A = this chain, B = another copy of it.
């Protein structure tokens, strides 16, 4: 267990370094480290029982700390200024891939011989194509030292809005998957709670926390600022989840709130080492969940999966890239924003898993969705890097 953790950390840094040496973002190396340590190659990363749960928790902590750190670094005023652009990018980047996925399954693919309603499956496929994984893109932008460019702000804002929209879609999909149906009031309620939580947290937090931290800084125990900040991020994440929103939205909000405190510099400086130990665990875990056997074109069955996967991956990329052109009133590098929105991650996986467990997605279809998520994740870092250019020193 400890050895597995240790191996994950070392492999992440070694392959991260290798990636940087060949001009790629470090996060790509960490993902590949995960593939190598994962079940389909070395099988070092535990996935089941208590060790699996612990790795999962540490990975989750890593993701929370990453979002918290990004929240700290992002300039709130800048985020507001690009707000409408982010909103447009997010909405187009959800609607287009969803529609493409739906049409692809409902009208393009030959009807399969199952009793499951084709339209329902099509909705599910569409849903898996919607939610951007903010973690990957933000890490790439952070690796390249461009978190405070105009494009990065639009992407991060849109990815957060994406997560909020993802929650709404989740309500719809789980209504379908459990067969309880969909109610308009339920959808509106989810949206209101998610948006309301984010707005209320940031408004109240920006008012209260600077005053509170002016008191905290007068305490003398070691690292009191750091520990309180991490505790605040954890609490706000839990609160977000309890309010029906997503953990990572809470962590991001916590970062934005604390970026308004007077002790912001110290907090950022002390959070960084802590985050740096945990975020690799998240990316290695993501890499480890890739089943390489799915990519083997030797059997006719996997060829079928690969063909399906190729189709939806293409739609997944296309649907997000066009979102870069969604805000014509603002002048920015549209391709950077479009590509930045491409990686899918946790949320897509959640949808796919719900579909598989409810029997709506066959294991082939589930495999194809998994490949799509992996492909979009692995393709983004190098493309984004080549679009943005060499790393600036942070």
**A residues whose Cβ falls under 8 Å from a Cβ of B:** 1-3, 5-7, 9-10, 12-13, 16-17, 20, 26, 50, 53-54, 57, 219-224, 226-228, 230-232, 234-235, 237-239, 241, 247, 270-274, 276-277, 280
Contacts and interface: CB of A to CB of B under 8 A. Distances in A.
Nearest to A226: B273
Contact of A221 (B13, B226, B247): B13
A221 B221 CA distance: 31
Contact of A226 (B10, B219, B277): B277
A238 B12 CA distance: 19
B6 A231 contact: yes
4 tightest A-B CB contacts, nearest first: A223-B276, A2-B238, A9-B231, A6-B235
Contacts of A227: 9-10, 12-13, 276-277, 280
A219 B273 contact: no
Contacts of A241: 2
Contacts of A280: 227
Given A220-B20, A228-B10, A2 B237 contact: yes
A5 B234 contact: yes
* Majority SS at the chain A contact face: helix
11 contacts: A2-B238, A2-B241, A3-B238, A9-B231, A13-B227, A13-B231, A53-B53, A223-B272, A227-B277, A271-B273, A274-B274
A278 to B, nearest CB: 9
Contacts of A239: 3
A9 B221 CA distance: 12
B228 A2 contact: no
A231 B37 CA distance: 15
Identical chains in the assembly = 2
A383 to B, nearest CB: 21
Contact of A234 (B3, B26, B273): B3
A17 B277 contact: no
A221 B10 contact: no
A10 B53 contact: no
A261 to B, nearest CB: 16
B2 A235 contact: yes
A234 B281 CA distance: 14
A219 B274 CA distance: 19
A346 to B, nearest CB: 16
B226 A16 contact: no
B17 A224 contact: yes
A210 B359 CA distance: 56
A391 to B, nearest CB: 10
Nearest to A391: B220
A3 B242 CA distance: 10
A10 to B, nearest CB: 5
A230 B9 contact: yes
B277 A221 contact: no
